[in-house]
Amino acid sequence: MTPKFFEERRPHNGIDYPDFMESTKQSIGIAKPDELNERELNIFNYRKLNFQRSNRIHKTFKIEDEHAEIIKSIDQPQLWMVITEDWCGDSAQNLPYLYLLSELSEFVTLKIIPRDDNLDIMDLYLTNGKSRSIPKLVVFDEAGNELFTWGPRPQELVNLIEQWKSEGKDKTEWTTAVHTWYAKNKGQQLIEEITKLVSQTTVNSIY
């Protein structure tokens, strides 16, 4: 069944990744840190750091040929809807890879919709049925059939966070560990998970 929001073309009218990055850059440029309250200053600092992280990924992106070929094998139109916000640290570490993967196929269109302006859509894709965690990728075919979802983090990292919490690490400690993991992994776990999902979807569409 095609979701109502898809019929209304809300994902189609989302933001292209280059425009998303340009908007983030402009938000950073026009901000006046000295005039911000504590919450606004935190968001500004997150946004600025995230912009730097995302740009770094663009410079270091590498993908194995076998993974690239899976994305290139997509031969029917797909819409990759990403629910996120530019202040989200996990988004900065994952969204660039999703975009770079989408660029490997002429049949894939990636659109970004801001979570906080689209909570009704976000609430259809809660993590563990309760958390509005982002980024969240939802992939549709041309008719609006949902092919698969992914996010907000690679599963290996999800498992590690649970382990760190069980070991008594506080949020500051495990958050630091999260970004250390991202820096070392360089998107490889995400690429493996997305290409596996794409491959499974392609196989299922044949039969």
Output the domain CATH number for residue 30. Answer: 3.40.30.10
62: which DSSP letter?
-
Residue 207's pLDDT is 35
Place 42 in a pLDDT band, splitting at 50, 70 and 90.
very high
pLDDT tens, position by position, 110-147: 999 999 999 999 999 999 999 999 999 999 999 999 99
Residue 202's pLDDT is 72
Residue 109 CA to residue 66 CA, distance in Å, equals 21
Residue 189's pLDDT is 97
Residue 37's pLDDT is 93
Q: Is 154 exposed, middle or buried (0-12, 13-18, 19+ CB in 10 A)?
A: buried
**Can you name the residues that pair with 136 across neighbouring β-strands?**
83
Q: How many domains does the chain have?
A: 1
Helix or strand run (H / E) with residue 192: helix 188-206
pLDDT tens, position by position, 67-124: 999 999 999 999 999 999 999 999 999 999 999 999 999 999 999 999 999 999 999 9
Residue 27 CA to residue 156 CA, distance in Å, equals 33
Residue 118 CA to residue 137 CA, distance in Å, equals 14
- pTM of the shown model: 0.93
Largest interatomic CA distance in the chain: 60
Helix or strand run (H / E) with residue 34: none
For the chain, how big is the Rg over CA atoms in Å?
17
Q: In the 3-class helix/strand/coil scheme, how is 140-177 assigned residue by residue?
A: EECCCCEEEEECCCCHHHHHHHHHHHHCCCCHHHHHHH
Place 203 in a pLDDT band, splitting at 50, 70 and 90.
low
Q: In the 3-class helix/strand/coil scheme, how is 77-124 assigned residue by residue?
A: CEEEEEEECCCCHHHHHHHHHHHHHHCCCCCEEEEEEEHHHCHHHHCC
Residue 138 CA to residue 19 CA, distance in Å, equals 20
Distance of CA 131 to the CA centre of its chain: 15
Across the range 16-34, mean pLDDT stands at 94
Domain boundaries, position 68 = 4-203
